[in-house]
């Protein structure tokens, strides 16, 4: 097939190498598109720059998610599943390709913890490097040129067909995800699966922190999000107590109380962590604060004080025995 202008987009030509199957997929916002690609120069040798098949992993992007190389979304949405097509793209569309390529190569080399999905977060770093660390990419960056992309479309999934990562969600979806993640964390906690529960709480906290950055500090909506975040952090701390990570609990609860000194649960959780690391005075002070702020928690406080006293007595007895043995 002769190369033709694609959808009247300037600077793009398409040649279908292998026809696809079925109708054109529904490329709605949030759809995940999985594909293989090969990038080549337009020289006589058609020098290969990158090839996902050589790496051994297909690429995927999320439609409407501000992918680094926007032209790929244009190319992919012209294709059917199983289609293989060659696209010639002029320099106006390929200027940021060296930045994308650098990210992909680093991932393939195990230098980046994420897999083959790249979004805009790293794009702000594009001017931070005098060199990209690869000679061919440095050359492309200095002298942008047209590129050829051979793309094989493997799969198109609607948002409901795959587990979306939280960075893929829009603001409304993030807000909807929080109670689901919170509930799932609570369920896992009750089952004693503390590591998994803590991950759910952390994911919900990340969603809320992201939303909070869009609000003015200490105004109504910001404070509403802050209250939700603190609740989740304290749930996360309960997981940490179960995992015996007491000093991290002290750090998180103290940070909450520095900004919000009236949160009863933060004092209670911190008291338990203090008790575990033998900070007797601090544990008792926090439990007294719990009683002051919430007298209805008297039974719980008395229980914790008894546990603390019993543990301290056991420790004192161990020390007495150790001293006797040393003297003996």
Residues 156, 26 contacting (CB under 8 angstroms): yes
Task: Tell me, yes or no, whether 192 and 148 share the same domain.
Answer: no
Task: Tell me, yes or no, whether 147 and 201 share the same domain.
Answer: no
Look at residue 96 and tell me whether its pLDDT is greater than 90: no
Task: Tell me, yes or no, whether 80 and 122 share the same domain.
Answer: yes
For residues 219 and 171, the model is more confident at: 219
CATH code (residue 87): 3.10.50.40
Residues 240, 248 contacting (CB under 8 angstroms): yes
308 alpha-carbon distance from chain centroid: 38
- Quote the number of domains for the chain: 2
142/275 Cα distance (integer angstroms): 61
Q: Is the pTM of this model over 0.75?
A: no
Residues 246, 278 contacting (CB under 8 angstroms): no
Task: Tell me, yes or no, whether 149 and 184 share the same domain.
Answer: no
Task: Tell me, yes or no, whether 109 and 176 share the same domain.
Answer: no
What is the percent of the chain with per-residue pLDDT over 70, rounded to a whole number?
A: 88
Residues 61-82, mean pLDDT to the nearest whole number: 85
| Antiparallel, parallel or unpaired: β 4-5 and 59-62 | unpaired
pLDDT at 120: 38
Count of beta carbons in the 10 Å neighbourhood of residue 181? 22
CATH code (residue 289): 1.25.40.10
Count of beta carbons in the 10 Å neighbourhood of residue 287? 24
Task: Kindly state whether residue 5 falls inside one of the protein's structural domains.
Answer: no
Residues 196-202, mean pLDDT to the nearest whole number: 91
Task: Tell me, yes or no, whether 217 and 136 share the same domain.
Answer: no
Look at residue 121 and tell me whether its pLDDT is greater than 60: no
């Amino acid at each position: 097939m002769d190369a033709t202008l694609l959808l009247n987009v300037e600077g793009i030509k398409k040649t279908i190498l292998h026809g696809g199957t079925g109708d054109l997929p529904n490329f709605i916002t949030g759809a995940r598109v999985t594909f293989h690609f090969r990038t080549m120069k337009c020289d006589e040798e058609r020098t290969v720059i990158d090839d996902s098949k050589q790496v051994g992993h297909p690429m995927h992007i999320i439609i409407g998610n501000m992918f680094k190389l926007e032209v790929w979304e244009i190319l992919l949405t012209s294709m059917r599943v199983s289609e293989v097509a060659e696209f010639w793209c002029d320099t106006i569309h390929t200027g940021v390709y060296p930045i994308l390529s650098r990210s992909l190569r680093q991932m393939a080399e195990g230098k980046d913890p994420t897999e083959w999905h790249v979004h805009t977060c790293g794009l702000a770093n594009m001017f931070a490097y005098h060199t990209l660390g690869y000679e061919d990419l440095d050359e492309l960056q200095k002298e942008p040129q047209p590129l050829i992309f051979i793309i094989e479309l493997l799969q198109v999934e609607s948002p409901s067909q795959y587990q979306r990562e939280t960075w893929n969600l829009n603001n409304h979806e993030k807000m909807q995800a929080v109670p689901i993640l919170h509930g799932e964390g609570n369920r896992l906690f009750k089952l004693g699966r503390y590591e998994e529960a803590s991950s759910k709480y952390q994911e919900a906290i990340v969603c809320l922190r992201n939303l909070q950055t869009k609000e003015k500090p200490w105004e109504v909506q910001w404070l509403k999000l802050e209250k939700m975040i603190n609740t989740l952090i304290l749930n996360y701390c309960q997981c940490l107590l179960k995992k015996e990570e007491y000093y991290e609990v002290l750090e998180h609860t103290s940070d909450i109380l520095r900004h919000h000194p009236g949160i009863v649960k933060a004092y209670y959780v911190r008291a338990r962590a203090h008790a575990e690391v033998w900070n007797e005075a601090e544990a008792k002070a926090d439990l007294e604060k719990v009683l002051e702020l919430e007298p209805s928690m008297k039974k719980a406080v008395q229980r914790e004080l008894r546990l603390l006293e019993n543990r301290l007595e056991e420790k004192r007895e161990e020390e007495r025995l150790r001293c006797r043995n040393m003297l003996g």
